[in-house]
């Protein structure tokens, strides 16, 4: 049986409400979420931000500085980026090329540029294992300690007057690892957003609880898919943040999830959704004994999503990466825990092999549905909305947020979109 929990929080300045339908296991964490700021008022009308924010180049420039370069951005999962000590990888974060290195205790991040004459330290998309503990620039051979970026050697610098090695370290970038998820923040100022304050102290625990195996070395990357969508990144986020369109656009999805138990949890800079699912459905089938019987999504400001789908332990990273005011790179990475080592000889060998292959088949069927069906069903919607936003007649829309928050327990609420737009207004001073 599902437990319904409704929380109401009143602040001195404004009447704020956080109302949710809680699933078993979630209610324990719900109070921690609701104590944080960021819930929105529901007794005032909510409208979308102005349409011009979705296509004006000048607004896109404002967003680069105010949002993309100031927020904690998900770079990926260590298993796909820097899986072992001594791994190095290049990754693009908010339009900047970043080098990640993995030491024995932590992951380090630097701008991918040599402080000598600006050669890139590693090639775009490169991933490899370092032979030593230093990163060497391919241009003139300066070398840097991989774990702290300090200059180790600049050939012939002993002949250069007043050359001070300390002045030529790599440009470090703030990095935070959360249960295998690597977050980067390009803001190196003293005003950088505090990670714990931004996401809440229970964020990592909640993620690992909802995505079993999240920080396991066995959580393996199965597929990466990238597609350019002709729409502003916020159109894709808006679309992701509501299920109001689900019964129209995603027939198989709504056959799998129980819309009567679709819950939304607002937080300051992330929003979680969870719904119970049924094993026999038109999306993809899973076993009633599989560990995951719910769909769980966590959107992370500004355009990253981490989620798990029903079935055996799995994880997806979904990103809506801005390319231009009217184009977005939609990138999905699919991971799963599949034990392919259970093929040892002995009485149970044949059965084990068949189980491993069944699990792999089920994981691939899930990936096929998520990538080829569910994501694609949203492509046309987003591109149509983008064209519509440029209509002279359209000035903005009213969001489906109900007075008192009664409707926020329902699958068709647009309260998460309203929350996203509040964050946008605050970040970019949108009236
Ligand atoms: S540019 Fe890197 S060593 Fe000269
Ligand atoms: Fe959708």
Taking only the tens place, the pLDDT of each residue in 313-342 is 999 999 999 999 999 999 999 999 976 554
Q: 10 Å Cβ neighbour count for 323?
A: 14
**pLDDT reading at 29 higher than 50:** no
The answer to whether the beta carbons of residues 308 and 210 sit under 8 Å apart is yes
The verdict on the CB of residue 11 being under 6 Å from ligand 1 is no
**pLDDT reading at 16 higher than 60:** no
Indicate the pairing of strand 127-129 with strand 6-10: unpaired
Higher pLDDT, 293 or 11: 293
**pLDDT reading at 10 higher than 60:** no
The torsion region of residue 200 among left (phi > 0), alpha (psi -120 to 50) and beta comes to left
**pLDDT reading at 344 higher than 50:** no
The ligand that comes nearest to the alpha carbon of residue 112 is 1
**pLDDT reading at 392 higher than 70:** yes
The ligand that comes nearest to the alpha carbon of residue 155 is 1
CA distance 31 to 238: 26
For 29, 92, 174, the CA distances from 145, given in Å and listed in that order, are 41, 21, 17
Atom of ligand 1 nearest to the CA of 114: 2
Best probe residue, ligand 1, of 114, 156, 168 (max atoms within 8 Å of C-beta): 114
- The residue whose CA has the least distance to atom 1 of ligand 1 is 117
pLDDT computed for residue 201 by the predictor: 79
Strand (E) positions, 32-126? 73-77, 87-93, 96-102, 107-111
pLDDT computed for residue 341 by the predictor: 55
Mean local confidence (pLDDT), 195-216: 90
pLDDT computed for residue 355 by the predictor: 60
Report the share of the chain in percent with pLDDT over 70.
86
The verdict on the CB of residue 139 being under 6 Å from ligand 1 is yes
Write out the H or E segment, with its range, that includes residue 32. Answer: helix 27-35
Considering only CA atoms, give the Rg of the chain: 23
Q: Please give the distance, rounded to the nearest whole angstrom, from the Cα atom of residue 122 to the centre of ligand 1.
A: 12
pLDDT computed for residue 408 by the predictor: 66
Contacts of 252 (CB under 8 A, 6+ apart): 281, 282, 283, 369, 373, 374
The verdict on the CB of residue 119 being under 6 Å from ligand 1 is yes
What six digits make up the tokens of 330? 């939609």
Mean pLDDT of the chain: 87
CA distance 129 to 100: 12
What six digits make up the tokens of 334? 């699919």
The ligand that comes nearest to the alpha carbon of residue 138 is 1
pLDDT computed for residue 19 by the predictor: 32
Q: Please give the distance, rounded to the nearest whole angstrom, from the Cα atom of residue 95 to the centre of ligand 1.
A: 22
What six digits make up the tokens of 426? 């605050």
Q: Please give the distance, rounded to the nearest whole angstrom, from the Cα atom of residue 112 to the centre of ligand 1.
A: 12
Atom of ligand 1 nearest to the CA of 137: 2
Per-residue pLDDT band at 358 (split at 50, 70, 90): confident
Nearest alpha carbon to residue 9 among 296, 299, 300, 266: 266
CA distance 65 to 427: 10
User: Between the CA atoms of 208, 279, 5 and 9, what dihedral angle is there, to the nearest 10 degrees?
Assistant: 50
**pLDDT reading at 268 higher than 70:** yes
What's 151-182 look like in SS3? Answer: EEECCCHHHCCCCCHHHHCCCECCEEEECCEE
The ligand that comes nearest to the alpha carbon of residue 236 is 2
Higher pLDDT, 260 or 348: 260
The verdict on the CB of residue 114 being under 6 Å from ligand 1 is yes
Per-residue pLDDT band at 410 (split at 50, 70, 90): confident
pLDDT computed for residue 21 by the predictor: 36
Let me know the angle formed at the C-alpha of 25 by 19 and 28, rounded to the nearest 5 degrees: 65
Atom of ligand 1 nearest to the CA of 118: 1
């Amino acid at each position: 049986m599902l437990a319904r929990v409704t929380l109401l929080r009143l602040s001195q300045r404004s009447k704020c409400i956080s109302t949710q339908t809680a699933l078993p296991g979630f209610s324990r964490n719900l109070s921690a979420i609701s104590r944080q700021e960021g819930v929105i008022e529901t007794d005032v009308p909510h409208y979308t931000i102005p349409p011009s924010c979705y296509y004006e180049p000048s607004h896109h420039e404002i967003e680069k500085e105010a949002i993309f370069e100031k927020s904690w951005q998900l770079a990926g999962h260590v298993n796909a980026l820097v899986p072992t000590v001594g791994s190095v990888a290049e990754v693009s974060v908010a339009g900047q090329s970043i080098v990640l290195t993995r030491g024995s205790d932590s992951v380090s991040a630097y701008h991918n540029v040599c402080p000598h004459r600006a050669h890139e330290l590693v090639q775009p998309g490169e991933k490899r294992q370092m032979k030593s503990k230093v990163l060497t620039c391919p241009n003139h051979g300066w070398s840097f300690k991989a774990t702290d970026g300090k200059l180790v050697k600049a050939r012939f610098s002993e002949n250069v007057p007043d050359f001070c090695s300390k002045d030529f370290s790599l440009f470090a970038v703030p990095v935070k690892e959360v249960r295998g998820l690597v977050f980067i923040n390009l803001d190196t100022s003293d005003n950088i957003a505090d990670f714990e304050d931004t996401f809440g102290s229970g964020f990592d625990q909640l993620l690992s609880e909802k995505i079993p195996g999240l920080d396991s070395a066995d959580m393996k990357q199965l597929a990466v898919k990238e597609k350019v969508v002709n729409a502003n990144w916020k159109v894709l986020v808006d679309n992701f943040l509501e299920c109001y369109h689900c019964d129209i656009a995603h027939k198989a999805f709504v056959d799998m999830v129980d819309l009567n138990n679709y819950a939304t949890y607002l937080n300051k800079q992330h929003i979680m959704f969870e719904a119970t699912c049924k094993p026999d459905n038109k999306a993809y089938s899973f076993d009633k004994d599989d560990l995951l019987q719910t769909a769980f999504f966590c959107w992370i400001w500004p355009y990253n999503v981490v989620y798990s789908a029903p079935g055996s332990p799995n994880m997806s990273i979904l990103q809506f990466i801005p390319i231009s005011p009217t184009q977005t790179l939609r990138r999905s990475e699919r991971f799963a825990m599949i034990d392919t080592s259970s093929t040892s000889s002995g009485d149970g060998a044949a059965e084990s092999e068949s189980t491993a292959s069944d699990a792999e088949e089920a994981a691939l069927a899930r990936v096929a549905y998520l990538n080829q069906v569910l994501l694609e069903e949203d492509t046309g919607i987003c591109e149509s909305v983008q064209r519509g936003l440029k209509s002279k007649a359209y000035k903005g829309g009213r969001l489906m947020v109900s007075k008192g928050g009664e409707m926020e327990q329902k699958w068709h609420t647009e309260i998460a979109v309203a929350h996203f737009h509040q964050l946008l207004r605050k970040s970019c001073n949108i009236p």
